[in-house]
A = this chain, B = another copy of it.
Protein backbone atom coordinates (compact mmCIF):
# COMPACT_ATOMS: atom_id res chain seq x y z
CA UNK A 1 0.00 0.00 0.00
CA UNK A 2 1.46 3.36 -0.94
CA UNK A 3 1.43 5.86 1.81
CA UNK A 4 0.68 9.52 1.25
CA UNK A 5 3.36 12.07 1.91
CA UNK A 6 2.96 14.59 4.73
CA UNK A 7 5.10 17.73 4.43
CA UNK A 8 6.53 19.37 7.53
CA UNK A 9 6.90 23.13 7.62
CA UNK A 10 8.91 24.68 10.43
CA UNK A 11 8.13 28.27 11.43
CA UNK A 12 10.35 28.43 14.53
CA UNK A 13 12.30 31.33 13.03
CA UNK A 14 9.19 33.36 12.22
CA UNK A 15 6.15 32.49 14.36
CA UNK A 16 8.45 31.06 17.05
CA UNK A 17 10.09 34.45 17.28
CA UNK A 18 6.73 35.80 18.51
CA UNK A 19 7.30 33.92 21.80
CA UNK A 20 7.59 36.40 24.67
CA UNK A 21 11.26 36.42 25.68
CA UNK A 22 12.59 34.95 22.44
CA UNK A 23 14.62 37.13 20.10
CA UNK A 24 16.89 35.62 17.50
CA UNK A 25 19.97 37.32 16.10
CA UNK A 26 21.13 36.62 12.54
CA UNK A 27 23.73 34.17 13.93
CA UNK A 28 21.03 32.42 15.98
CA UNK A 29 18.87 32.09 12.90
CA UNK A 30 21.74 30.68 10.85
CA UNK A 31 22.47 28.09 13.54
CA UNK A 32 18.84 27.07 14.00
CA UNK A 33 18.22 26.89 10.25
CA UNK A 34 21.21 24.54 10.10
CA UNK A 35 19.70 22.28 12.77
CA UNK A 36 16.33 22.19 11.00
CA UNK A 37 17.91 21.55 7.60
CA UNK A 38 20.11 18.75 8.93
CA UNK A 39 17.18 17.09 10.65
CA UNK A 40 15.21 17.08 7.41
CA UNK A 41 12.16 19.32 7.64
CA UNK A 42 10.68 19.98 4.20
CA UNK A 43 10.29 23.71 4.67
CA UNK A 44 12.18 26.14 6.87
CA UNK A 45 10.50 29.52 7.17
CA UNK A 46 13.22 32.00 8.03
CA UNK A 47 11.37 35.22 8.74
CA UNK A 48 10.01 38.29 7.05
CA UNK A 49 12.63 39.96 4.83
CA UNK A 50 12.13 43.70 4.70
CA UNK A 51 10.27 43.82 8.01
CA UNK A 52 13.34 44.24 10.19
CA UNK A 53 17.13 44.41 9.74
CA UNK A 54 17.72 40.92 11.22
CA UNK A 55 15.41 39.19 8.78
CA UNK A 56 16.63 41.25 5.86
CA UNK A 57 20.23 40.26 6.64
CA UNK A 58 19.24 36.63 7.19
CA UNK A 59 17.69 36.48 3.72
CA UNK A 60 20.76 37.86 2.00
CA UNK A 61 21.54 34.30 1.07
CA UNK A 62 19.95 30.89 1.10
CA UNK A 63 20.48 29.34 4.51
CA UNK A 64 19.49 25.71 3.89
CA UNK A 65 20.90 22.90 1.73
CA UNK A 66 18.05 20.45 1.45
CA UNK A 67 15.07 22.10 3.10
CA UNK A 68 13.11 24.58 1.04
CA UNK A 69 13.99 28.04 2.37
CA UNK A 70 10.83 30.10 2.81
CA UNK A 71 10.33 33.87 3.11
CA UNK A 72 7.20 35.08 4.86
CA UNK A 73 5.39 38.29 3.98
CA UNK A 74 2.06 39.89 3.26
CA UNK A 75 0.01 39.94 0.11
CA UNK A 76 0.21 43.28 -1.64
CA UNK A 77 -1.84 46.21 -0.48
CA UNK A 78 -5.05 47.05 -2.31
CA UNK A 79 -4.77 49.80 -4.90
CA UNK A 80 -1.19 49.14 -6.01
CA UNK A 81 0.07 46.56 -8.44
CA UNK A 82 2.15 43.62 -7.24
CA UNK A 83 5.25 45.08 -8.88
CA UNK A 84 4.72 48.39 -7.09
CA UNK A 85 4.36 46.93 -3.59
CA UNK A 86 7.82 47.22 -2.03
CA UNK A 87 7.12 44.56 0.62
CA UNK A 88 6.07 41.98 -1.94
CA UNK A 89 8.94 42.90 -4.26
CA UNK A 90 11.47 42.42 -1.44
CA UNK A 91 9.98 38.99 -0.78
CA UNK A 92 10.04 37.87 -4.37
CA UNK A 93 13.61 39.13 -4.88
CA UNK A 94 14.94 37.47 -1.73
CA UNK A 95 17.18 34.41 -1.76
CA UNK A 96 14.27 32.21 -0.65
CA UNK A 97 13.18 29.14 -2.63
CA UNK A 98 9.59 29.71 -1.65
CA UNK A 99 7.29 32.40 -0.35
CA UNK A 100 4.54 32.19 2.22
CA UNK A 101 2.10 35.06 1.84
CA UNK A 102 -0.25 35.79 4.71
CA UNK A 103 -3.73 36.77 3.56
CA UNK A 104 -6.81 37.81 5.47
CA UNK A 105 -9.67 35.35 5.10
CA UNK A 106 -12.08 36.71 7.72
CA UNK A 107 -14.18 39.46 6.15
CA UNK A 108 -14.26 41.29 9.48
CA UNK A 109 -10.47 41.67 9.45
CA UNK A 110 -10.48 42.68 5.79
CA UNK A 111 -12.70 45.60 6.73
CA UNK A 112 -11.14 46.53 10.08
CA UNK A 113 -7.44 45.75 9.61
CA UNK A 114 -6.97 46.20 5.86
CA UNK A 115 -9.67 48.78 5.29
CA UNK A 116 -10.41 47.52 1.79
CA UNK A 117 -13.32 45.72 0.17
CA UNK A 118 -13.69 41.95 0.12
CA UNK A 119 -13.11 41.91 -3.63
CA UNK A 120 -9.98 44.04 -3.37
CA UNK A 121 -8.59 41.51 -0.87
CA UNK A 122 -9.31 38.65 -3.28
CA UNK A 123 -7.55 40.57 -6.04
CA UNK A 124 -4.54 41.17 -3.76
CA UNK A 125 -4.32 37.43 -3.06
CA UNK A 126 -4.58 36.46 -6.74
CA UNK A 127 -2.12 38.95 -8.09
CA UNK A 128 0.40 38.48 -5.27
CA UNK A 129 0.40 34.71 -5.78
CA UNK A 130 0.68 35.15 -9.54
CA UNK A 131 3.65 37.50 -9.14
CA UNK A 132 5.43 35.11 -6.78
CA UNK A 133 4.81 32.13 -9.06
CA UNK A 134 5.99 34.13 -12.08
CA UNK A 135 9.22 34.88 -10.20
CA UNK A 136 9.83 31.16 -9.92
CA UNK A 137 9.08 30.81 -6.24
CA UNK A 138 7.12 27.90 -4.86
CA UNK A 139 4.23 29.88 -3.42
CA UNK A 140 2.09 29.34 -0.34
CA UNK A 141 -0.68 31.34 1.23
CA UNK A 142 -1.34 31.40 4.99
CA UNK A 143 -5.07 32.07 5.27
CA UNK A 144 -5.09 34.02 8.52
CA UNK A 145 -8.06 33.51 10.89
CA UNK A 146 -9.38 30.91 8.44
CA UNK A 147 -11.42 28.93 10.96
CA UNK A 148 -12.94 31.94 12.73
CA UNK A 149 -13.49 33.54 9.33
CA UNK A 150 -15.19 30.42 8.05
CA UNK A 151 -17.54 30.40 11.05
CA UNK A 152 -18.44 34.06 10.42
CA UNK A 153 -18.70 33.93 6.61
CA UNK A 154 -17.95 30.53 5.07
CA UNK A 155 -18.39 31.64 1.48
CA UNK A 156 -15.89 34.45 1.80
CA UNK A 157 -13.29 32.36 3.66
CA UNK A 158 -13.57 29.72 0.94
CA UNK A 159 -13.24 32.31 -1.82
CA UNK A 160 -9.96 33.55 -0.28
CA UNK A 161 -8.55 30.01 -0.21
CA UNK A 162 -9.84 29.47 -3.72
CA UNK A 163 -8.26 32.70 -5.02
CA UNK A 164 -4.88 31.52 -3.75
CA UNK A 165 -5.26 28.04 -5.21
CA UNK A 166 -6.55 29.24 -8.59
CA UNK A 167 -3.68 31.73 -8.91
CA UNK A 168 -1.21 28.86 -8.65
CA UNK A 169 -0.35 28.54 -4.96
CA UNK A 170 1.26 25.16 -4.27
CA UNK A 171 -0.11 25.24 -0.73
CA UNK A 172 -3.08 26.93 0.87
CA UNK A 173 -2.61 26.86 4.64
CA UNK A 174 -5.61 27.09 6.92
CA UNK A 175 -4.57 29.03 10.02
CA UNK A 176 -6.21 28.92 13.42
CA UNK A 177 -4.64 32.26 14.25
CA UNK A 178 -6.43 32.82 17.57
CA UNK A 179 -5.92 29.21 18.57
CA UNK A 180 -9.38 28.52 19.96
CA UNK A 181 -10.77 26.12 17.36
CA UNK A 182 -11.64 22.61 18.54
CA UNK A 183 -10.52 19.44 16.71
CA UNK A 184 -14.07 18.54 15.66
CA UNK A 185 -14.44 21.97 14.10
CA UNK A 186 -11.09 21.66 12.31
CA UNK A 187 -12.18 18.33 10.92
CA UNK A 188 -15.52 19.68 9.67
CA UNK A 189 -14.11 22.84 8.15
CA UNK A 190 -11.19 21.09 6.42
CA UNK A 191 -13.70 18.64 4.94
CA UNK A 192 -15.79 21.54 3.69
CA UNK A 193 -12.76 23.16 2.04
CA UNK A 194 -11.88 19.93 0.26
CA UNK A 195 -15.53 19.49 -0.77
CA UNK A 196 -15.39 23.01 -2.25
CA UNK A 197 -12.77 21.81 -4.71
CA UNK A 198 -9.31 22.45 -3.28
CA UNK A 199 -7.51 19.10 -3.05
CA UNK A 200 -6.20 18.06 0.36
CA UNK A 201 -2.81 17.54 -1.30
CA UNK A 202 -2.63 21.34 -1.60
CA UNK A 203 -3.82 22.18 1.90
CA UNK A 204 -1.89 22.81 5.09
CA UNK A 205 -2.73 23.42 8.76
CA UNK A 206 -1.30 26.06 11.09
CA UNK A 207 -2.52 25.54 14.66
CA UNK A 208 -1.92 27.31 17.97
CA UNK A 209 -2.09 25.82 21.44
CA UNK A 210 -4.55 28.14 23.17
CA UNK A 211 -6.75 25.25 24.28
CA UNK A 212 -3.86 22.78 24.57
CA UNK A 213 -4.88 21.09 21.33
CA UNK A 214 -2.49 22.37 18.64
CA UNK A 215 -1.13 18.85 18.16
CA UNK A 216 -4.60 17.31 18.07
CA UNK A 217 -5.85 20.01 15.69
CA UNK A 218 -2.94 19.41 13.33
CA UNK A 219 -3.50 15.66 13.34
CA UNK A 220 -7.27 16.07 12.95
CA UNK A 221 -6.60 18.21 9.89
CA UNK A 222 -4.31 15.54 8.45
CA UNK A 223 -6.98 12.96 9.12
CA UNK A 224 -9.48 15.16 7.27
CA UNK A 225 -7.14 15.52 4.30
CA UNK A 226 -4.49 18.24 4.61
CA UNK A 227 -0.94 17.25 3.70
CA UNK A 228 1.21 19.99 5.17
CA UNK A 229 1.71 20.77 8.86
CA UNK A 230 3.17 24.04 10.12
CA UNK A 231 4.70 24.11 13.58
CA UNK A 232 7.75 24.91 15.65
CA UNK A 233 10.49 23.22 17.66
CA UNK A 234 9.23 22.48 21.17
CA UNK A 235 6.03 24.34 20.35
CA UNK A 236 7.40 27.83 20.90
CA UNK A 237 5.32 30.66 19.49
CA UNK A 238 2.97 33.50 20.24
CA UNK A 239 0.83 33.23 23.40
CA UNK A 240 0.59 29.49 24.19
CA UNK A 241 2.75 28.53 21.25
CA UNK A 242 2.40 26.81 17.88
CA UNK A 243 1.87 23.14 17.13
CA UNK A 244 4.89 21.24 18.44
CA UNK A 245 6.59 19.46 15.53
CA UNK A 246 8.73 17.53 18.02
CA UNK A 247 5.53 15.89 19.29
CA UNK A 248 3.71 15.55 15.99
CA UNK A 249 6.48 13.88 14.02
CA UNK A 250 6.89 10.75 16.20
CA UNK A 251 3.11 10.30 16.28
CA UNK A 252 2.97 10.48 12.47
CA UNK A 253 5.83 8.01 12.15
CA UNK A 254 5.22 5.58 15.01
CA UNK A 255 1.49 5.42 15.64
CA UNK A 256 -0.32 2.95 13.36
CA UNK A 257 -3.31 5.32 13.07
CA UNK A 258 -0.98 7.58 11.02
CA UNK A 259 2.10 5.56 10.14
CA UNK A 260 0.03 2.99 8.23
CA UNK A 261 -1.31 5.69 5.95
CA UNK A 262 1.35 8.37 5.75
CA UNK A 263 5.03 8.95 5.32
CA UNK A 264 7.24 11.99 5.93
CA UNK A 265 10.54 13.15 4.48
CA UNK A 266 12.32 12.04 7.64
CA UNK A 267 13.75 8.55 8.06
CA UNK A 268 13.37 6.41 11.18
CA UNK A 269 17.10 6.71 11.63
CA UNK A 270 16.80 10.52 11.73
CA UNK A 271 13.90 10.22 14.14
CA UNK A 272 16.24 8.80 16.78
CA UNK A 273 17.87 12.25 16.79
CA UNK A 274 14.67 14.06 17.78
CA UNK A 275 15.33 14.04 21.55
CA UNK A 276 18.73 15.57 20.91
CA UNK A 277 17.24 18.15 18.53
CA UNK A 278 14.67 19.17 21.12
CA UNK A 279 17.24 19.47 23.92
CA UNK A 280 19.78 21.28 21.75
CA UNK A 281 17.17 23.83 20.84
CA UNK A 282 16.37 24.39 24.53
CA UNK A 283 20.09 24.81 25.22
CA UNK A 284 20.12 27.34 22.45
CA UNK A 285 17.29 29.27 24.10
CA UNK A 286 18.97 28.78 27.50
CA UNK A 287 15.84 27.10 28.79
CA UNK A 288 15.62 24.05 30.99
CA UNK A 289 14.10 21.27 28.88
CA UNK A 290 10.60 20.26 29.96
CA UNK A 291 10.97 16.90 31.71
CA UNK A 292 7.43 15.91 30.74
CA UNK A 293 7.57 16.64 27.00
CA UNK A 294 5.94 13.87 24.98
CA UNK A 295 8.49 11.45 23.50
CA UNK A 296 11.59 13.54 24.26
CA UNK A 297 11.29 14.62 27.92
CA UNK A 298 13.59 13.05 30.49
CA UNK A 299 10.47 11.74 32.26
CA UNK A 300 8.64 10.58 29.12
CA UNK A 301 9.68 6.99 29.76
CA UNK A 302 10.27 7.23 33.50
CA UNK A 303 8.39 5.19 36.05
CA UNK A 304 8.43 5.75 39.77
CA UNK A 305 8.63 2.76 42.00
CA UNK A 306 5.09 1.66 42.44
CA UNK A 307 2.58 -0.72 41.01
CA UNK A 308 4.06 -0.48 37.52
CA UNK A 309 7.80 -0.59 38.07
CA UNK A 310 8.49 -4.28 38.46
CA UNK A 311 6.11 -5.24 35.64
CA UNK A 312 7.70 -2.60 33.43
CA UNK A 313 11.12 -4.13 33.83
CA UNK A 314 9.77 -7.54 32.87
CA UNK A 315 7.76 -6.47 29.84
CA UNK A 316 8.55 -2.89 28.91
CA UNK A 317 6.59 -2.97 25.67
CA UNK A 318 3.32 -3.44 27.51
CA UNK A 319 3.89 -0.31 29.58
CA UNK A 320 5.43 1.94 26.93
CA UNK A 321 3.37 3.30 24.07
CA UNK A 322 6.44 3.34 21.81
CA UNK A 323 9.97 2.06 22.41
CA UNK A 324 12.02 4.95 23.84
CA UNK A 325 14.99 4.27 21.54
CA UNK A 326 12.87 5.06 18.45
CA UNK A 327 12.95 8.70 19.51
CA UNK A 328 16.44 8.63 21.01
CA UNK A 329 15.16 8.63 24.58
CA UNK A 330 15.81 6.12 27.37
CA UNK A 331 13.75 4.19 29.87
CA UNK A 332 14.17 5.32 33.44
CA UNK A 333 13.01 3.57 36.55
CA UNK A 334 13.37 6.17 39.21
CA UNK A 335 15.49 5.27 42.15
CA UNK A 336 13.66 6.10 45.30
CA UNK A 337 13.11 4.63 48.70
CA UNK A 338 10.22 2.58 47.33
CA UNK A 339 12.47 1.01 44.73
CA UNK A 340 13.35 -2.64 44.58
CA UNK A 341 16.70 -4.21 43.86
CA UNK A 342 15.99 -4.60 40.14
CA UNK A 343 15.39 -0.85 39.81
CA UNK A 344 18.79 -0.20 41.34
CA UNK A 345 20.58 -2.67 39.08
CA UNK A 346 18.88 -1.23 35.99
CA UNK A 347 19.84 2.31 36.96
CA UNK A 348 23.44 1.39 37.88
CA UNK A 349 23.90 -0.48 34.61
CA UNK A 350 22.61 2.52 32.69
CA UNK A 351 25.18 4.66 34.51
CA UNK A 352 28.02 2.28 33.67
CA UNK A 353 28.50 1.18 37.28
CA UNK A 354 28.77 -2.61 37.15
CA UNK A 355 27.39 -4.58 40.09
CA UNK A 356 26.50 -8.20 40.65
CA UNK A 357 23.01 -9.01 41.89
CA UNK A 358 24.39 -10.77 44.98
CA UNK A 359 27.08 -8.19 45.80
CA UNK A 360 26.48 -7.35 49.48
CA UNK A 361 27.53 -3.76 48.78
CA UNK A 362 24.38 -3.45 46.69
CA UNK A 363 22.30 -4.08 49.81
CA UNK A 364 24.39 -1.50 51.64
CA UNK A 365 23.69 1.00 48.86
CA UNK A 366 19.96 0.32 48.94
CA UNK A 367 19.89 0.69 52.71
CA UNK A 368 21.89 3.90 52.47
CA UNK A 369 19.55 5.40 49.86
CA UNK A 370 16.54 4.51 52.00
CA UNK A 371 18.14 5.99 55.10
CA UNK A 372 19.17 9.17 53.36
CA UNK A 373 15.82 9.60 51.61
CA UNK A 374 14.19 9.30 55.03
CA UNK A 375 16.43 12.20 56.09
CA UNK A 376 15.21 14.26 53.18
CA UNK A 377 17.59 13.53 50.31
CA UNK A 378 15.78 13.07 46.99
CA UNK A 379 17.95 11.07 44.65
CA UNK A 380 15.39 10.87 41.89
CA UNK A 381 15.95 14.56 41.28
CA UNK A 382 19.69 14.37 41.90
CA UNK A 383 21.21 11.90 39.48
CA UNK A 384 24.81 13.01 40.09
CA UNK A 385 24.55 12.72 43.88
CA UNK A 386 23.11 9.22 43.43
CA UNK A 387 25.95 8.40 41.04
CA UNK A 388 28.55 9.50 43.58
CA UNK A 389 26.85 7.69 46.44
CA UNK A 390 26.74 4.51 44.37
CA UNK A 391 30.37 4.77 43.24
CA UNK A 392 31.48 5.51 46.79
CA UNK A 393 29.56 2.54 48.15
CA UNK A 394 30.35 0.05 45.40
CA UNK A 395 33.85 1.10 44.54
CA UNK A 396 35.88 4.11 45.35
CA UNK A 397 35.83 7.77 44.51
CA UNK A 398 39.18 9.45 45.14
CA UNK A 399 39.35 12.18 47.79
CA UNK A 400 40.41 14.87 45.39
CA UNK A 401 40.50 17.50 48.12
CA UNK A 402 39.25 18.11 51.64
CA UNK A 403 37.44 21.19 52.91
CA UNK A 404 38.71 21.83 56.41
CA UNK A 405 36.38 24.69 57.20
CA UNK A 406 34.37 27.50 55.71
CA UNK A 407 32.73 30.65 56.97
CA UNK A 408 30.02 32.73 55.29
CA UNK A 409 29.00 36.17 56.36
CA UNK A 410 26.20 38.45 55.20
CA UNK A 411 25.97 41.98 56.46
CA UNK A 412 23.37 44.61 55.72
CA UNK A 413 23.66 48.15 56.91
CA UNK A 414 23.13 51.72 55.79
CA UNK A 415 26.15 53.50 54.37
CA UNK A 416 27.06 57.11 55.10
CA UNK A 417 24.60 58.31 52.43
CA UNK A 418 21.73 56.36 53.93
CA UNK A 419 21.69 53.69 51.21
CA UNK A 420 21.26 50.07 52.14
CA UNK A 421 24.34 48.01 51.39
CA UNK A 422 24.49 44.23 51.63
CA UNK A 423 27.78 42.37 51.45
CA UNK A 424 28.28 38.60 51.31
CA UNK A 425 31.64 37.03 51.87
CA UNK A 426 32.89 33.46 52.17
CA UNK A 427 36.20 32.02 53.33
CA UNK A 428 37.18 28.41 52.70
CA UNK A 429 40.16 26.41 53.87
CA UNK A 430 40.96 23.49 51.56
CA UNK A 431 43.58 20.75 51.81
CA UNK A 432 44.93 19.44 48.47
CA UNK A 433 47.91 17.07 48.34
CA UNK A 434 48.89 18.05 51.88
CA UNK A 435 48.88 21.71 51.01
CA UNK A 436 46.46 24.05 52.78
CA UNK A 437 44.86 26.75 50.67
CA UNK A 438 42.65 29.57 51.92
CA UNK A 439 40.38 31.40 49.52
CA UNK A 440 38.03 34.29 50.11
CA UNK A 441 35.36 35.67 47.81
CA UNK A 442 32.44 38.05 47.75
CA UNK A 443 29.25 37.02 46.02
CA UNK A 444 25.66 38.02 45.35
CA UNK A 445 24.65 36.01 48.37
CA UNK A 446 26.22 33.58 50.83
CA UNK A 447 25.87 30.52 48.57
CA UNK A 448 27.23 32.37 45.57
CA UNK A 449 30.17 33.62 47.66
CA UNK A 450 30.79 30.09 48.94
CA UNK A 451 30.62 28.66 45.42
CA UNK A 452 33.12 31.21 44.12
CA UNK A 453 35.47 30.70 47.07
CA UNK A 454 35.28 26.89 46.75
CA UNK A 455 36.15 26.98 43.08
CA UNK A 456 38.70 29.79 43.29
CA UNK A 457 41.74 27.64 43.83
CA UNK A 458 41.47 23.88 43.52
CA UNK A 459 45.17 23.62 42.70
CA UNK A 460 45.92 21.00 40.08
CA UNK A 461 42.18 20.42 39.48
CA UNK A 462 41.44 24.06 38.77
CA UNK A 463 41.61 23.89 34.97
CA UNK A 464 39.30 20.85 35.00
CA UNK A 465 36.39 22.77 36.49
CA UNK A 466 36.71 25.93 34.45
CA UNK A 467 33.73 25.02 32.28
CA UNK A 468 31.46 24.10 35.22
CA UNK A 469 28.47 26.44 35.59
CA UNK A 470 25.59 26.40 38.06
CA UNK A 471 22.34 26.65 36.16
CA UNK A 472 19.75 26.21 38.84
CA UNK A 473 19.46 26.26 42.60
CA UNK A 474 16.31 25.16 44.37
CA UNK A 475 15.56 25.17 48.02
CA UNK A 476 12.75 23.36 49.71
CA UNK A 477 11.94 23.26 53.38
CA UNK A 478 10.79 19.82 54.47
CA UNK A 479 8.49 19.19 57.44
CA UNK A 480 7.92 22.90 58.04
CA UNK A 481 7.88 24.59 61.41
CA UNK A 482 10.71 24.64 63.88
CA UNK A 483 12.15 21.24 63.02
CA UNK A 484 12.48 22.24 59.41
CA UNK A 485 15.07 20.54 57.27
CA UNK A 486 16.37 22.27 54.19
CA UNK A 487 16.88 20.44 50.93
CA UNK A 488 18.95 22.11 48.26
CA UNK A 489 18.98 20.90 44.66
CA UNK A 490 21.62 22.30 42.37
CA UNK A 491 21.79 21.86 38.63
CA UNK A 492 25.13 22.27 36.91
CA UNK A 493 26.36 21.96 33.39
CA UNK A 494 29.63 22.07 31.54
CA UNK A 495 31.12 22.62 28.12
CA UNK A 496 30.08 19.17 26.91
CA UNK A 497 26.45 20.20 27.28
CA UNK A 498 25.83 17.64 30.03
CA UNK A 499 23.57 18.68 32.90
CA UNK A 500 23.66 17.06 36.31
CA UNK A 501 21.83 17.56 39.54
CA UNK A 502 23.08 17.26 43.10
CA UNK A 503 21.38 17.40 46.46
CA UNK A 504 22.25 18.51 49.96
CA UNK A 505 20.17 18.21 53.13
CA UNK A 506 20.72 19.89 56.45
CA UNK A 507 18.99 21.93 59.10
CA UNK A 508 21.23 24.65 57.77
CA UNK A 509 20.66 26.10 54.32
CA UNK A 510 24.32 26.97 53.83
CA UNK A 511 25.44 23.54 54.91
CA UNK A 512 22.94 21.87 52.56
CA UNK A 513 24.13 24.10 49.73
CA UNK A 514 27.72 23.23 50.56
CA UNK A 515 26.99 19.50 50.22
CA UNK A 516 25.29 19.98 46.86
CA UNK A 517 28.11 22.23 45.61
CA UNK A 518 30.73 19.69 46.70
CA UNK A 519 28.87 16.84 44.99
CA UNK A 520 28.68 18.88 41.80
CA UNK A 521 32.43 19.56 41.75
CA UNK A 522 33.39 15.98 42.66
CA UNK A 523 30.96 14.57 40.10
CA UNK A 524 32.57 16.75 37.45
CA UNK A 525 36.04 15.46 38.40
CA UNK A 526 34.84 11.82 38.37
CA UNK A 527 33.14 12.37 35.01
CA UNK A 528 36.30 13.89 33.53
CA UNK A 529 38.23 10.78 34.57
CA UNK A 530 35.62 8.44 33.09
CA UNK A 531 35.80 10.36 29.80
CA UNK A 532 39.60 10.24 29.79
CA UNK A 533 39.43 6.49 30.41
CA UNK A 534 37.09 6.02 27.44
CA UNK A 535 39.28 8.24 25.25
CA UNK A 536 42.38 6.24 26.23
CA UNK A 537 40.85 2.95 25.11
Chain A residues close to B by CB (< 8 Å) = 18-21, 23, 25, 27, 52, 74, 106, 108-109, 112-113, 145, 148, 177-180, 182-185, 209-213, 215-216, 219-220, 223, 235, 238-241, 244, 247-248, 250-251, 255, 257-258, 286, 288, 291-295, 297-304, 306-308, 311, 314-315, 318-322, 334, 338, 378, 380-381, 404-414, 422, 424, 444-448, 469-482, 484, 486, 506-511, 514
A-B contact list, 27 entries, CB within 8 Å:
A20-B299, A20-B334, A52-B338, A108-B318, A109-B311, A112-B315, A177-B319, A178-B320, A182-B251, A210-B321, A211-B247, A212-B247, A213-B215, A215-B216, A239-B303, A240-B292, A240-B300, A286-B476, A405-B411, A407-B410, A408-B409, A410-B510, A424-B510, A445-B510, A472-B477, A474-B475, A474-B477
Known interface pairs A23-B378, A25-B479, A511-B445; A251-B410 also in contact (CB < 8 Å): no
Residues of chain B with a CB closer than 8 A to A507's CB: 444-445
Residues of chain B with a CB closer than 8 A to A472's CB: 477, 480
Q: Is B211 a contact partner of A215 (Cβ separation < 8 A)?
A: yes
Residues of chain B with a CB closer than 8 A to A20's CB: 291, 298-299, 302, 304, 334, 380-381
Q: Name the residue among A185, A307, A322 with the largest chain B CB count within 10 angstroms.
A: A307
Q: Is B211 a contact partner of A109 (Cβ separation < 8 A)?
A: no
Q: Is A412 a contact partner of B422 (Cβ separation < 8 A)?
A: no
Count this chain's copies in the assembly. Answer: 2
Given A408-B409, A473-B484, 10 other A-B residues pairs in contact with their CB atoms under 8 A: A113-B311, A179-B321, A180-B255, A239-B302, A405-B412, A406-B412, A422-B511, A445-B506, A445-B510, A472-B477
Q: Is A299 a contact partner of B408 (Cβ separation < 8 A)?
A: no
Instruction: Give the residue name and chain of the B residue nearest to A471 (CB).
Output: B480
Q: Is B286 a contact partner of A481 (Cβ separation < 8 A)?
A: yes
Residues of chain B with a CB closer than 8 A to A183's CB: 183, 216, 219-220
Q: How far is the CA of A223 from the CA of B187 in the complex (A)?
A: 14
Q: Is B409 a contact partner of A404 (Cβ separation < 8 A)?
A: no
Q: How far is the CA of A479 from the CA of B311 in the complex (A)?
A: 40
Q: How far is the CA of A106 from the CA of B475 in the complex (A)?
A: 42
Instruction: Give the residue name and chain of the B residue nearest to A213 (CB).
Output: B216
Instruction: Give the residue name and chain of the B residue nearest to A429 (CB).
Output: B413
Q: Is B301 a contact partner of A239 (Cβ separation < 8 A)?
A: yes
Instruction: Give the residue name and chain of the B residue nearest to A74 (CB).
Output: B307
Q: Is B412 a contact partner of A409 (Cβ separation < 8 A)?
A: no
Residues of chain B with a CB closer than 8 A to A25's CB: 478-479
Q: Is B445 a contact partner of A446 (Cβ separation < 8 A)?
A: no
A131 → B minimal CB distance (Å): 21
Q: Is B255 a contact partner of A182 (Cβ separation < 8 A)?
A: yes
Q: Is B509 a contact partner of A238 (Cβ separation < 8 A)?
A: no
Residues of chain B with a CB closer than 8 A to A219's CB: 182-183, 213
Q: Is A112 a contact partner of B319 (Cβ separation < 8 A)?
A: no
Q: Is B508 a contact partner of A424 (Cβ separation < 8 A)?
A: yes
Q: Is B509 a contact partner of A293 (Cβ separation < 8 A)?
A: no
Q: Is B422 a contact partner of A300 (Cβ separation < 8 A)?
A: no
A176 → B minimal CB distance (Å): 9
Residues of chain B with a CB closer than 8 A to A486's CB: 445
Residues of chain B with a CB closer than 8 A to A509's CB: 445-447, 509
Known interface pairs A299-B240, A321-B178; A411-B407 also in contact (CB < 8 Å): yes
Known interface pairs A318-B108, A405-B411, A510-B424; A306-B18 also in contact (CB < 8 Å): yes
Q: Is A294 a contact partner of B247 (Cβ separation < 8 A)?
A: no
Q: How far is the CA of A299 from the CA of B295 in the complex (A)?
A: 25
A24 → B minimal CB distance (Å): 12
Q: Is B292 a contact partner of A209 (Cβ separation < 8 A)?
A: yes
Known interface pairs A239-B299, A405-B411; A510-B184 also in contact (CB < 8 Å): no
Q: How far is the CA of A220 from the CA of B178 in the complex (A)?
A: 21
A192 → B minimal CB distance (Å): 16
A334 → B minimal CB distance (Å): 6
A58 → B minimal CB distance (Å): 16
Q: Is B240 a contact partner of A474 (Cβ separation < 8 A)?
A: no
Q: How far is the CA of A38 from the CA of B337 in the complex (A)?
A: 33
Residues of chain B with a CB closer than 8 A to A240's CB: 292-294, 297, 299-300
A324 → B minimal CB distance (Å): 11
A383 → B minimal CB distance (Å): 11
Q: How far is the CA of A321 from the CA of B478 in the complex (A)?
A: 35
Residues of chain B with a CB closer than 8 A to A480's CB: 27, 286, 288, 471-472
Q: How far is the CA of A448 from the CA of B486 in the complex (A)?
A: 11
Residues of chain B with a CB closer than 8 A to A475's CB: 473-476
Q: Is A511 a contact partner of B446 (Cβ separation < 8 A)?
A: no
Residues of chain B with a CB closer than 8 A to A405's CB: 411-414
Residues of chain B with a CB closer than 8 A to A315's CB: 112
A8 → B minimal CB distance (Å): 16
| Complex partner residue of A412 from B257, B414, B482, B514, CB under 8 angstroms | B514
Q: How far is the CA of A248 from the CA of B411 in the complex (A)?
A: 49
